[in-house]
Amino acid sequence: MKHLRIKPGSKVDLNDWDPSDHSGFDDGEQAARERLITLREKLEKLQELLYAEHKHRLLIVLQAMDTGGKDGAIAKVFDGVNPQGVRVASFKSPTLPELDRDYLWRIHPQVPGKGEIVIFNRSHYEDVLIVRVHNLAPEEVWKRRYAQINDFERMLTEAGATILKFFLHIDKDEQKQRLQARLDDPSKHWKFNVGDLAERKLWSDYMKAYEDLLSKTSTDWAPWIVVPANHKWYRNLVVIESVVGALEDFDMRYPPSPPGLDKIIID
């Protein structure tokens, strides 16, 4: 998935990234589903090993426009893992106590501990996205946050965390189809938010905000991966391939057995 990774220091133009791309896996959707099953089995074993070894920690950041597939990716990729060692943290509009503090105050308690995988469904990046687009803070304030976020993530990695950041990239036509599908299916009406239509009108503003975010916060220690997400099956493959690859790179081992276990007899 190296071709999907944003090189630190590069200038991002999302027009150069095709949301319908599925390069690297051209065998079709059915083959992708079979590959996903195989990788999920591998992920289950690696996640158990991560939890048992209690040494490494993995933070996964998911960002996307509305209907971009954050919930779907979490459901498809992490189906079957032990919830004891995997947790999802979602960040909605900040509460009054959170607004009384710095914007990272509510983020830090949610980062993973040793042996844990934590998935951020939206994240600290909302403070350079929605805050910017809706003018919720002065420009000189949110512009400082790029460097602050880079420093925050550097600190996490120096403390032993590995960070995977995914921008699930869909186009405006795909979003329209997904919103329409929610309207057409009564069982999905609960997922439809009228407010998404107002946000959709700001599409160009959000794309510019995302381009600056990707350009300024893809670092050597926490690079961004732009996931072509018009095809859900390809989105899921990119995410799980990256997660499995990161866990394999940990080169984990089960803890050594306590002495004397071979002499225990259970009546």
142 SS3 class: helix
pLDDT in tens, 72-82: 999 999 998 98
Q: Report yes or no: 86 and 78 within 8 Å, Cβ to Cβ.
A: yes
pLDDT in tens, 20-73: 999 888 778 889 999 999 999 999 999 999 999 999 999 999 999 999 999 999
Residues of the chain with pLDDT > 70: what percent? 100
Sign of torsion, CA 90 91 93 96? positive
Label residues 138-159 b or e (16+ Cβ within 10 Å = b): eeeebeebbeebbebbeebbee
Q: How far apart are CA 68 and CA 88, in angstroms?
A: 17
Q: How far apart are CA 215 and CA 7, in angstroms?
A: 9
pLDDT, mean over the chain: 95
More confident residue, 263 or 206: 206
pLDDT above 80 (res 1): no
The band of 219, judged by pLDDT with boundaries at 50, 70 and 90, is very high
The full set of domains in the chain, from first to last, is 2-248 (3.40.50.300)
The one-letter code for the residue type at 177 is Q
Residue 128 pLDDT: 98
pLDDT above 90 (res 242): yes
Residues 6+ apart with CB under 8 A from 117: 47, 50, 57, 58, 60, 81, 85, 86, 87
